Chains A and B, each alone.
Chain A
C-alpha cells in the first residue's frame, strides 16, 4: 500500500484496508480478517454446535476468548445458578470452551465480567484491529481506534471456522464534538445528545467517527461509553482515533505488546487518524459547551432531553411517526407531557452495564454519594463491569462508600441492563439506569427506564427524583474524569 500516492482516507477506511484478505469483485463482499473474537454464553452455543456438526475445528484459539456475563447472577455467585435456562447456557459455554480449547473466564475468576469490559482491561483491545462478538455493543471497542462490531450466530460460527467475515464496506459519518464540557456533564451526556439529534436510525449503514476537542479530552472510559452506544443510533460501529491517551491506557496491560513490538505498534497506530482532506459520507456538529446532563423520557434511546427540560409531548414532533411513538412512549412510561423531568420520582437506580461500569464510572458515582444517604424507598444497585473492576474499587474503598450510602454492592455481570438474570425491575417500577437501552420491558417486564450518566444516577439516588449533580447543595466534588485519573 503506497500511502504517498493514495487519496486521503478516514480512520475506518485505513483499518478496513489493512484487513482485506480477498478483495470482492463485482459488488461481492470483501473477505475481512478478524483480529479478536469475543465470545459469551448467549450467542455462541449454536455456533459451536455448527462446528461440531460440520466437524470443523476452531481456527484460531489464540484470537478467541470467552466470558460469562448475560445470565450470571450478581449475588451468591458460588451457588448453583437457579434459573434452569441460564444455567444451561452457562454450562454449555463451559463445556464448549473445554471441548474446543477456548480460553474462558468463568464466574468467580478475576477476569470474568461483561465481555466489553474484559477485552480492554486485558489489553487485548487495541488500536487498528478488528474485533467482533455476537453482541451489538461490541462497538464499545472502537474507542481504541479499532473496527469493532456485533455479529449474528451464523457469523460467529463463520469467524470460529475461518477467522474472517465476508463484508461490504460501511459508509462513514463524522460526529464532531468541539468545545469544553461543563463540570457535571460527561461522555454519557454527549452520546445521549448525539442520538437525540440523529435518531435511532440516523447511523444506519455507517461507521461513526467521534472527533473534535471534547472527544480528545475524554479518558478511555469516557470514549468507550460513547462508542458503546453507537449502535443505539443504528450505526454498525463507532470509532475514536487513537492518541497518547489510548497508548497510555493500553501500555502495561497483560496482553499489551512489549519491547520492540510495542514500538512497532505505536508507530503504526500513529498513522491511523483520519487524513487531512479525507471525505466522510455524512457529518454532524455538536457544541460541547452547550451540553447539559441528559436523560431519556421515552422508550427508545433517541427520546431524550436535557434534565432541565419538561417531558415533551406528541405536539413537539412534526414527524407523524415520532408523534405516535411519543404518545405510546408516554403511555408506557406513565408520564404526562409538560412535567419537569426533575419532578419524576424513581423506584430504583441501576449503576452498571457495559456503558458505565468501569472503574472511572464507579469513581464518578462514588464522588457524588460520598458521605450521603440514599433517598428513602429507592433501591440502588451498583454492579461493576468485571470482577477485576470490583477488586480495584474495593482496593480504593469505593465499596464502603457505596454500602454506607445504602446501596447494594454486587458481583460483576450484565445484571439489570437486561432482564435475563435475577436482577429485574418489577412491573411499573421506574429506574434511573446508566445502561444503554430503555426499550419496553428491557430491565424486566413492565419496567420503566430512564437512561442517565453515573453522575445523574448518583444525584438521583440522593434526591429520589431525576436530578443532575447541579441540583445538589453538596460541594461540587463531582469529578471531571481527568482529575480522578491524575
Chain B
C-alpha cells in the first residue's frame, strides 16, 4: 500500500445518499478472479445513463468522491473498495459510512473521511459552481480545502496512521517478521509439511 499524506485532484459532487455496495459494484462482477481491473464495474448500473455524473467530461480523472450520508451500506464485499480504487478514487467523503465499508477502505488504501452534512453541502455547492474543480484532502492536518473553504474531517487515529505510513494489515504483521522467524525456528519437526511431496509405498 502506498503512503498517502495529501490528495489533490478533481472532486465529484455526488449528490446521493445510501449508496449501497450493490450500486457501487453489482454482484455479477463478484465472479471475477482478480483483485484489480474493476474500474468498468464501478457504479455499473448508473453508468449506463449518459447523463450520470461520472460520464461527464469535467469529471474524468477524478480522485475525490464527495457523497451523501450512509455510503457503502449492504454486503461486506471488498470489491466495492477495489472498484473505487481502480477507477481512480483515493478519497471518499461522506457524513456517515457503513462500518464494514469503512474498515475495508482502511485496509485497501482508500481514505474514507467523515464530514458533517452541512459542510458536504458547502463542498457540493463549490464543486458544482465550477465542474472539474480541484480540491485537496490533507490527511496530515485532517483538512479538506476547496478554494477558500477549509474544513476539518474525521477519521479514526489508527486508520489515519496506517494510511500515512502506507501500512496494510499484512505490512503491519510483517513488522513482526523477526518474531515470526523466531517462532518458526522453534517449530517442532513433527509438525506438518506439504513439501517435499511424500508418497507411501502402500498407495494404489
Interface residues of A in 89-124 (CB under 8 A from B): 89, 92, 103, 110, 123-124
* Chain B 26-45 near chain A by CB (<8 Å), digits 1 or 0: 00000101111000000000
B189 A257 Cβ-Cβ under 8 A = yes
Taking the complex as formed, is B169 at the interface, i.e. its CB lies under 8 A from any CB of chain A?
A: yes
CB-CB nearest in chain A for B76: A152
Whether A53 lies near B36 (C-beta < 8 A) is: yes
Contact assessment for B192 and A264 in the assembled complex, using a CB-CB cutoff below 8 Å = no
- Whether a CB of chain B sits under 8 angstroms from the CB of A262 is yes
| B191→A129 contact, CB < 8 A | yes
Chain B residues near A309 (CB-CB < 8 A): none
Contact A49 B199 (CB under 8 A): no
Task: Tell yes or no: B180 within 8 A of A by CB.
Answer: yes
Chain B positions within 8 Å of A36 at CB level: 192, 194
Query: Do A62 and B190 have beta carbons less than 8 Å apart?
Result: no
Assuming the A-B contacts A31-B176, A53-B35, A257-B189, are A162 and B183 also in contact, with contact meaning beta carbons closer than 8 angstroms in the complex?
A: no
| Extra pairs beyond A153-B78, A157-B170 (7, CB < 8 Å) | A21-B176, A36-B194, A49-B35, A64-B194, A158-B169, A261-B189, A268-B190
The proximity string for B residues 144-164 relative to A, scoring 1 for CB distances below 8 Å and 0 otherwise, is: 000000000000000000000
6 sample A-B contacts, Cβ–Cβ < 8 Å, listed by A number = A22-B176, A46-B33, A110-B203, A164-B173, A254-B198, A255-B193
Nearest-CB distance from B188 to chain A (Å)?
7
Give B27-81 interface residues, CB cut-off 8 Å to A: 31, 33-36, 78
Q: For residue A119, which residue of chain B has the nearest CB?
A: B192
Partner of B180, one of A85, A125, A164, A254: A164
Flag if A261 contacts B173 (CB, 8 Å).
Answer: no
Contact check, B194 vs A264: say whether CB atoms are below 8 A apart.
no
What separation, in Å, do the CA atoms of A49 and B32 have in the docked complex?
11
Please tell me if A381 contacts chain B, counting CB pairs below 8 Å: no
Question: Which 6 A-B pairs have CB atoms at the shortest separation, nearest pair first?
Answer: A45-B33, A265-B190, A257-B190, A49-B35, A62-B195, A261-B190
Give residues of chain A (112-160) contacting chain B, Cβ–Cβ below 8 Å: 123-126, 129, 153-154, 157-158
A286 interface hit (Cβ, 8 Å): no
Interface range, A side:
35 or more
Q: Which residue of B lies closest to A124 (CB)?
A: B192
Query: Looking across the interface, which residue of chain A has its beta carbon closest to that of B170?
Result: A161
Whether A158 contacts B173 in the complex (CB less than 8 A), given A22-B179, A46-B35, A103-B195, comes out as yes
Contacts of B195 in A (CB 8 A): 61-62, 103
Asked if A33 is an interface residue, CB under 8 A from chain B, the answer is: yes
A264–B188 touching, CB < 8 Å: yes
With A21-B183, A53-B35 given, is the CB distance from A63 to B190 under 8 Å?
no
**In the complex, which residues of chain A have a beta carbon less than 8 angstroms from the beta carbon of B194?**
36, 61-65, 103, 124, 255
Closest beta carbon of chain A to B202's beta carbon, Å: 8
Q: How far is the CA of A254 from the CA of B203 in the complex (A)?
A: 9
CA distance A92 to B183 in the complex (A): 33
B193: chain A residues at CB < 8 Å are 62-63, 255
Q: Which residues of A contact B174 (CB under 8 A)?
A: 161-162
Least CB separation from B31: chain A residue = A85
Distance of A61 Cα from B31 Cα, bound (Å): 26
Given A53-B35, A85-B31, A124-B194, A162 and B188 touching (CB < 8 A)?
A: no
Q: Which of B1, B187, B194, B203 has the most CB of A within 10 A?
A: B194
Q: Which residues in A have their C-beta under 8 angstroms from that of B183? A: 21, 33
Given contacts A35-B191, A153-B78, contact A21 B179 (CB under 8 A): yes
Supposing A22-B179, A166-B169 touch, asked if A49 and B198 sit within 8 A by C-beta, the answer is no
A82 CB within 8 Å of chain B: no
B168 to chain A minimum Cβ distance, whole angstroms, is: 8
B118 interface residue per 8 A CB criterion: no
- Interface mask (A452-482 → B, CB under 8 Å = 1, otherwise 0): 0000000000000000000000000000000
Bound state CA distance, A252 and B176, in angstroms? 36
A422 at the interface (CB under 8 A from B): no
Indicate if the CB atoms of B199 and A254 lie closer than 8 Å: yes
Q: Which residues of chain A come closer than 8 Å to B200, judged between CB atoms? A: 252-254
**CB of A117 to closest CB in B, whole Å:** 15
- A275: min CB distance to chain B, Å: 21
With A164-B180, A395-B204: A63-B192 Cβ-Cβ less than 8 Å: yes
- Chain A residue nearest to B204 (CB atoms) is A391
- Encode contact with B along A50-63: 1 for CB under 8 Å, 0 otherwise: 10011010000111
Residues of B within 8 A of A157 (CB): 170
> A176 an interface residue at 8 Å Cβ cutoff?
no
| Distance in Å: Cβ of B161 to nearest Cβ of chain A | 14
**Contact of B190 with A255 in the complex, beta carbons under 8 Å:** no
> Do A92 and B192 touch across chains, with their CB atoms under 8 A apart?
no
Which residues on the B side are within 8 Å of A162 (C-beta)? 170, 173-174, 180
Interface residues of A in 1-45 (CB under 8 A from B): 21-22, 31, 33, 35-36, 45
Contacts of A31 in B (CB 8 A): 173, 176, 179-180
Closest-by-CB residue of A relative to B172 is A166
Which chain A residues in 150-198 approach chain B with CB under 8 Å?
153-154, 157-158, 161-164, 166
Specify the chain B residue showing the minimal Cβ separation from A95: B33
Name the residue of chain B whose CB is nearest to the CB of A105.
B197
Q: Report A129 CB to chain B, min CB distance, Å.
A: 6
In the complex, whether B107 has a CB less than 8 A from a CB of chain A is yes
Question: In the complex, what distance in Å separates the CA atom of A262 from the CA atom of B188?
Answer: 11
Question: Closest chain A residue to B1 by CB distance?
Answer: A54
Q: How far is the CA of A116 from the CA of B116 in the complex (A)?
A: 49
Q: Which B residue sits closest to A260, measured CB to CB?
A: B189
A31 CA to B31 CA in the complex, in Å? 31
Restricting to A227-258, which residues have a CB under 8 Å from any CB of B?
252-255, 257
Q: Which residues of A contact B176 (CB under 8 A)?
A: 21-22, 31, 164
Q: Given that A21-B179, A164-B180 are contacting pairs, would A264 and B190 also be in contact in the complex, using a CB cutoff of 8 Å? A: yes
| Inter-chain contacts of A253 with B (CB < 8 A) | 200
Name the distance in Å between B55's Cβ and chain A's nearest Cβ.
28
Q: How distant is B184 from chain A, measured CB to nearest CB, in Å? A: 8
